[in-house]
Amino acid sequence: MGKVERGAASQGFFQNVHWFRGLAILFIVATHANDLLVWPESSSLAQLSQAIIRESSLWFIFIAGFLFLHLAPRHTPSSYFKSKLKNVIMPYLICSVPALALTLTLYPENLPAALTDLTPLKQALVMLLTGSHMAHFWFIPAIALVYLIGPGLLALERRGTLYWLLIPLCLWSLVMSRDGLQLVTGLGLVAAPASKALYMLPAYIAGMAMRRHYDLLDPLIRKHWLPLTAMTSIPFAFLLTGALPGLHWAFAWKLMSAALVLTALGTLPKGLPLRPIETLGTYSFGIYFVHGYALKALSFVLQGQTALADILTADWLGYVLLTTVTALACTLGLVSCRKLLGHRSRYLVGV
């Protein structure tokens, strides 16, 4: 699909990308674990934790853009779309079955209000197309649209015009946030995947830019990490304090921090105990598919046990424990699935 030049400085970079993927999925699990917790009113701890983890899907898609350009020489357009169909769309459809069945039968209150007048078959179809049957599934239809325009992005990248789009796209996402296109068009749920794809697109393109110019950017970030970190702390401070609320500072902070985190992971000394993060990176896409179910199950168990219910009354210990147990349970389940099914597990759960 395209040629990516590899300089000497970029030969050993892949490990930090893999670690970053593990860190990103851990933050995504933490985001949805946070939704189960009952934080004390006006908790500064809650504000800090939520500011840190918000919009971690932008890290995930930054990595996706990085790897898309890195792996482009291995693919033809046909093989590219086939891989996405097998490794993303198929497991999404399979992992959606329990959520769809439960929503349409036992938990009709979870059905989006816009779908109540439709037949069950149409309800299921719209939920699949919009990812509205589970809170975290919105990401898959949105990133599928980004995948769909991948060859076009690659063509613009080869012409040297793609990265100019970052300026208007970043401004759009900063001002309009995830639901901007829905608000502008008035199409509601129907426009949700396109709206979220447009919101995430600058992170994907930024990941491509990081890969293209890795040999230049990595040493530059290492040299000037202090002023760059200071700049990145500005949108984080706005997010934490609620200053200038008309702008989506979570987008700015997560996008600006992506290259910094990637570079920082590349500077870690050898011998650190990073195996857990590496394992999360290996199973990251599978964890994304199943962690919603794990959290639902844990929530059900905890709420039914008085001795354990205090875990959902949030403090740092309960928060870290819930996130860790969820990530561990997902990983163990995926490892078992992989051992049982071999390479076929990729079509079932994405790994």
- What DSSP string describes 9-24? GGTT-HHHHHHHHHHH
Largest interatomic CA distance in the chain: 62
Kindly give the confidence (pLDDT) of every residue in the chain, 351 residues in length, as a single tens digit, with 9 standing for 90 and above.
755 554 434 444 489 999 999 999 999 999 999 888 877 777 788 889 889 999 999 999 999 999 999 999 998 999 999 999 999 999 999 999 999 999 999 989 999 999 999 999 999 999 999 999 999 999 999 999 999 999 999 999 999 999 999 999 999 999 999 999 999 999 999 999 999 999 999 999 999 999 999 999 999 999 999 999 999 999 999 999 999 999 999 999 999 999 999 999 999 988 888 999 999 999 999 999 999 999 988 887 776 655 555 656 657 777 888 899 999 999 999 999 999 998 889 999 988
Rounded Cα distance, 347 and 96, in Å:
13
Rounded Cα distance, 252 and 170, in Å:
8
- C-alpha 293: how far from its chain's center? 17
Question: Which pair of structure tokens corresponds to residue 35?
Answer: 């939704």
Q: CA of 38: how far to CAs of 108, 117, 129, 307, in Å?
A: 24, 34, 31, 16
Which residue ranges make up each domain of the chain? Answer: 8-273
Left if phi > 0, otherwise alpha if psi is -120 to 50, otherwise beta: which for 350? left
**Residues facing residue 313 across a β-bridge:** 38
**Residues 6 or more apart from 199 whose CB is under 8 A from it?**
172, 173, 176, 177, 178, 180, 251
Question: What dihedral do alpha carbons 134, 322, 23, 334 form, nearest 10°?
Answer: -70
284 CB-side CA count, 13 A: 23
**Residues 6 or more apart from 350 whose CB is under 8 A from it?**
87, 88, 91, 92, 95, 285, 286, 288, 289
